[in-house]
Amino acid sequence: MRNLMLSALLFCAAPPLLATARLDAVKNETPIEAPANPQAIGQIPPGFRFVEPGYLTVATANTNSPPLGLLASDNKTRIGSDADFARLLADSLGLKLRLVPAAWEDWPLGVTAGRYDVAMFNIAVTEERKKKFDFATYRADGHAFLVKANSPINAISKAEDVAGKRIIVGSGTNQERILLGWDEKNRAKGLKPVTPVYLTDEAAATLTLLSGRADALFGPQSMAAWKVASRGDTKIVGYGPVRSWVAVTTKKGNGLAEALQTAINGTIAGGQYQQVLSRWGEKNEAIKASTVNPPGIVY
């Protein structure tokens, strides 16, 4: 596997600042709204056919993955930072929002087949994905290693640190690519192999970690930071080697990316963007302006 690199690190790679108070998702159930953005609306391609007329259909994670996505107290409404950002986009484009919970494995085919207008799954921009999709960035995300609060593991910062360990990771994610790349280097040095533990459900992943059936969890840093700040039974012991652009993802060449970019930039200027990041503990992932198809991760 080629060395993992990011073509351009245009943002700070500092670790996140964790909230000192317990985070409470119930307080974030009231929607944040944005005004219609005439410039963004004007950039929607003439004759563009949304999946459902009058709606922006957004595929989002069907798992409980705070702060990115989770169920509200009514046990049916999807909330979280991705749902909030999706609502801001729909508002800005003069559309209603239709959130469609889906599995991570389903979004690529769903977008290319036209079942969703866009996907918002904490999707990182990679050069490989840019061959099939267009992107409008809205966050700069990193990856974190999470362990039990009383774990003897105090640091994971390089390939040697994962040798012989059982690491929870999502299949098909950039974290998996990083982990397997490190494992390949370790095996070449004669070190013990890593054991990936593939789980997609966050509740199961947390239970597996806390029960001692895995040594660490490697996932998005925003999710790790939320666990630490809201639960208190875990700790972050290290971060991945790169940060990545997280972007609203749409079908390649459909012409919608520029309208999405303008919509995002409008909410940055209007302050709604910052409100979303603040209430979900993601202020360290803020970007100054959205970019269409920026340099992505390459392997």
Give the confidence band of 263 by pLDDT, cuts at 50, 70, 90: very high
Q: Quick one: pLDDT at residue 299?
A: 59
pLDDT band for position 207 (50/70/90)? very high
Compute the average pLDDT of residues 205-225.
Answer: 94
Give the mean pLDDT of 53-60.
98
Render pLDDT for 61-80 as a digit per residue (tens, 0 to 9). 988 888 999 999 999 999 99
Question: At residue 218, what are phi and psi to the nearest 5 degrees?
Answer: -115, 110
181: left (phi over 0), alpha (psi -120 to 50) or beta: alpha
- The pLDDT-based confidence of 11 (bands split at 50, 70, 90) is very low
For residues 142 and 115, which has the higher predicted lDDT (pLDDT)?
115
Residues 6 or more apart whose CB falls under 8 angstroms from that of 211 comprise none
Which residues have C-beta within 8 Å of that of residue 161, sequence separation ≥ 6? 155, 238
Per-residue pLDDT of 147-203, as tens digits, reads: 999 999 999 999 999 999 999 999 988 899 999 999 999 999 999 999 999 997 888
pTM reported for the whole predicted model: 0.80
Section 266-295 average pLDDT:
95
- Kindly indicate the confidence band of residue 33, based on its pLDDT and cuts at 50, 70 and 90: very high
Contact call for residues 116 and 179 (beta carbons, < 8 A): no
Confidence of residue 12 (pLDDT cuts 50, 70, 90): very low
Domains observed in the chain: 5-141+245-298 (3.40.190.10), 143-239 (3.40.190.10)
Pairing of strands 234-239, 143-148: antiparallel
Please report which confidence band the pLDDT of residue 2 belongs to, taking 50, 70 and 90 as the band edges.
very low
